[in-house]
């Protein structure tokens, strides 16, 4: 379709601060250090409610009462059962991702799950079926991840326990132990805080795919692909690597000065949106301090000294800890191995991705932005075809 050049609007690189769609799911107010799911503070939800309650809120627009929560938990337990056909392919997927990349295995496993369940394009599914598929994908994701992790370690996956909630069941599948209330709450707080966070790269990817009417698993797989990029995911384990490298608080200042002078990144500090302290980091620091211990003491001391050094080295920039810094500490306290830190983030974010995909599919409009062409002026006449030495000699063209 023809268009007039003057209808194009130049936007910042990376689409920073560009409004691409309307959403009722939540918002991030970076200059205030605040974000919310629907009408509630996301941090308040993480502190005071369960992961399933926040999940219900995003899907259905309200917090559940006791009866609704019990019914929703029963739906989740039923939805996390993995079909035998999918269980049969998991060993092969684990071998294909022998480097321990559980997210790569998850992308293939979710495709297999959608095929086994007969997912159709969102365009062809009624709203109730879309919701069931959203619950199915988000409920099965932690089970699939734990199974792939077990197979990568050379052991048989554990079976889900129907008497455990989503968070406790995930910890049991990965660690082999039923968590106590404190550890279950700690991981629930992290997962709830990570469910959604505006139109980040993976969420936007999910919405773009959903806008085409593709099936819901395709939207989640696309989001996982975006999350696999090091600029978007993977920092929690790297933040712990930083703590290991620093070792003791008295070495923090020298370490950060050397890192900044060498052009390196200080993992776990700074955020693309927040210009104040990341509210997720503040909440997770409280969770970690509730456990205490040498690791937590080191993290708190390093946070303070690194921020003091960064304030001097990068004046005018607000470089507080972001969610990844204390997320790694909390997940380690809960017994999760570092290889499962980013997959655990995906356990939470799958809830947000599916909610966004359903909202975008309901809109019915394909996302199709324009690009401003900045190459050589067009049209230009095609140049005469240049003959090669072989064609002039007739080689290969029957000339002999």
Catalytic residues: 271, 324
Helix (H, G, I), strand (E, B) or coil at 321: strand
Dist. CA 386–CA 65, nearest whole Å: 75
Q: How far is CA 135 from CA 62, 251, 353, in A?
A: 16, 47, 11
Alpha helices in the chain (DSSP H): 42-48, 51-60, 66-79, 84-96, 102-117, 127-152, 166-175, 181-194, 201-211, 216-227, 235-246, 252-261, 279-291, 294-313, 323-333, 341-363, 389-393
Dist. CA 291–CA 311, nearest whole Å: 29
Angle at CA 137, nearest 5°, toward 19 and 44?
A: 60
- Are 387 and 399 a contacting pair, CB within 8 Å? no
Q: Provide the β-strand partners of residue 47.
A: none
Helix (H, G, I), strand (E, B) or coil at 181: helix
Angle at CA 58, nearest 5°, toward 57 and 59?
A: 95
Residue 269 is classified by DSSP as B
């Amino acid at each position: 379709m023809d268009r007039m050049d003057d209808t194009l609007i130049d936007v910042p690189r990376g689409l920073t601060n560009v409004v691409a769609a309307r959403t009722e799911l939540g918002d991030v107010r970076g200059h205030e250090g605040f974000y919310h799911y629907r009408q509630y503070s996301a941090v308040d939800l993480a502190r005071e409610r369960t992961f399933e309650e926040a999940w219900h809120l995003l899907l259905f627009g309200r917090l559940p009462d006791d009866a609704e929560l019990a019914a929703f938990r029963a739906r989740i337990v039923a939805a996390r059962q993995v079909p035998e056909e999918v269980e049969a392919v998991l060993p092969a997927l684990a071998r294909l991702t022998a480097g321990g990349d559980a997210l790569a295995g998850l992308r293939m496993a979710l495709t297999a799950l959608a095929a086994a369940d007969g997912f159709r394009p969102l365009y062809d599914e009624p709203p109730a079926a879309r919701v069931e598929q959203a619950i199915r994908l988000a409920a099965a994701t932690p089970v699939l991840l734990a199974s792939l992790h077990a197979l990568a370690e050379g052991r048989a996956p554990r079976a889900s326990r129907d008497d455990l909630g989503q968070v406790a069941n995930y910890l049991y599948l990965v660690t082999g132990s039923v968590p106590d209330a404190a550890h279950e709450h700690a991981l629930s707080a992290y997962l709830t805080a990570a469910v959604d966070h505006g139109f980040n790269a993976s969420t936007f990817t999910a919405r773009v795919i959903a806008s085409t009417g593709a099936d819901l698993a395709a939207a989640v797989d696309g989001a996982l692909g975006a999350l696999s990029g090091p600029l978007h995911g993977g920092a929690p384990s790297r933040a712990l690597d930083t703590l290991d490298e620093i070792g003791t608080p008295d070495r923090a200042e020298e370490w950060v000065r050397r890192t900044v002078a060498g052009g390196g990144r200080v993992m776990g500090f700074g955020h693309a949106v927040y210009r104040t302290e990341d509210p997720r980091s503040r909440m997770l620091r409280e969770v970690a301090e509730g456990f205490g211990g040498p690791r937590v003491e080191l993290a708190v001391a390093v946070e303070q000294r690194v921020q003091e050094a960064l304030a001097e080295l990068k004046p005018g920039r607000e470089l507080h800890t972001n969610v990844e810094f204390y997320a790694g500490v909390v997940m380690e306290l809960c017994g999760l191995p570092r290889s499962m830190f980013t997959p655990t983030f995906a356990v939470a974010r799958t809830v947000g991705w599916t909610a966004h995909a359903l909202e975008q599919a309901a809109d019915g409009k394909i996302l199709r932005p324009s690009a401003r062409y900045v190459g050589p002026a067009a049209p230009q006449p095609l140049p005469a075809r240049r003959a090669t030495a072989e064609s002039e000699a007739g080689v290969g063209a029957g000339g002999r």
